[in-house]
Structure 1
């Protein structure tokens, strides 16, 4: 294989991808103290490159009157993707390659909010890729948007050629402060920007 062929191979592989319109979210189950009933929404982009999770009640608290369990909460979201009907010779898989987080930073310094996500496919016992961001306090009514990529060396690909792919996403939100008198009551209800997590996907023939 000459150098030109090596350079063109990624482009050729991408060109072999079929129309992904038949890939759909068939089922979503979530649990945890960060996501009470009916508080999580899910959607997938038209080109199937982004799954969006919306959390309407991922509320954390810090300061007098609250416990250590109030300052850090978790939600595990299990998503089943139905792969639709592709030709018999078509085998596909995807990897989670990054994340974008959007929401409120309705707290002052020295408080910060740490958001972490881990990603695991059903039936695959391997590395668990993660994305993590830290949001510094910025005052009332301020929103944030933070994006983090997952390095290719630690990306995990879904099972190859499966008719249904199960992806579990574990979200953790934690308030952090070294100030003894730091206080945050979780009041982020003065607007319409819930915590949103966009999961970026990359598809491959396999």
Structure 2
């Protein structure tokens, strides 16, 4: 991905769910010190990312966290090649926001989808906080799912408020914590034909798949 593309997406939220009165931490109060992805063979049947293929950043006003994936794609059909029908990526973001905590208000997915009739796609994201010292989950989690039925073909930005499930407010941490985000894209076809096709991948502009997390902050 180009640095210009990443900077542009990291700065703007096209459909933010934030309320105008939301308090934002001062510039520099929220920092990211590390980004790592789990080995794709761990608990998955498809590789959606590899080390070095994911970039994460806060927007300048801390209202969004953007994740960009160079290697996230799923495909079904005779032209799928080595691409599997399910893509999965688990990203571990080590970050610090002393004195502040955020909750995920909504999520946008950015990419390209092509589905023939009878093919459906499901994009799911889950997130939680992990204590880096004990490796145990701490308070703060949620998930969202988007479904698309074929026929469909478009570069897309999926967004709808109020779709978060099992959303739990995060706690305030006094030191760095690990924010873990998992994303998967699955393609399914209910019929018996072997000629139908479906794709979920990066958009046609720069071949990058993106997840944009709209954040609501509160002071501890």
Would the TM-score normalized by the shorter structure come out above 0.5? yes
167-176 or 24-33, larger mean C-alpha shift: 24-33
Corresponding residue number in structure 1 for 2:107: 99
User: Aligned residue pairs: how many?
Assistant: 186
Q: After the TM superposition, which residues 1-206 of structure 1 pair with which residues of structure 2 at under 5 Å, given as runs?
A: 18-31=25-38, 32=40, 33-63=47-77, 70-83=84-97, 91-123=99-131, 124-125=137-138, 128-137=141-150, 142-149=154-161, 154-181=166-193, 182-184=196-198, 191-206=205-220
TM-score by length of 2: 0.70
Give the deviation of 1:22 after TM superposition: 3.0
Distance in 1 separating the partners of 2:87 and 2:177: 26
The structural deviation recorded for 1:165 is 2.8
CA distance in 1, matches of 2:91, 2:103: 17
Query: Does the Cα contact within 8 Å between 1:92 and 1:205 map onto a contact in 2?
Result: yes
Aligned equivalents of 2:217, 2:200: Cα separation in 1: 38
Instruction: Quickly say closer, same or farther: Cα 1:185–1:169, change in 2 above 3 A.
Output: closer
User: Which segments of 5 or more consecutive residues in structure 2 lack a partner in the other structure?
Assistant: 1-18, 41-46, 132-136
RMSD, matched Cα: 3.2
**TM-superposed deviation, 1:18:** 4.5
Q: Which blocks of at least 5 consecutive residues in structure 1 are unaligned?
A: 1-10, 85-90
TM-score, normalization: structure 1? 0.75
Decide which structure has greater strand share. 2
Kindly indicate whether the alpha-carbon contact (under 8 Å) linking 1:98 and 1:148 is maintained by their aligned counterparts in 2: yes
Give secondary structure in 2 for the equivalent of 1:61.
strand
Q: Per-residue deviation at 1:78?
A: 0.6
Q: Could you report, residue by residue, the CA deviation over 1:62-104 in whole angstroms, capped at 9, with x for unpaired residues?
A: 235879x9211210001111226xxxxxx32111221001110
Taking the aligned partners of 1:187 and 1:83, their CA distance within structure 2 comes to: 32
Change (3 A) 1:148 1:164: farther
Larger radius of gyration: 1
Matching residue of 2:9: none
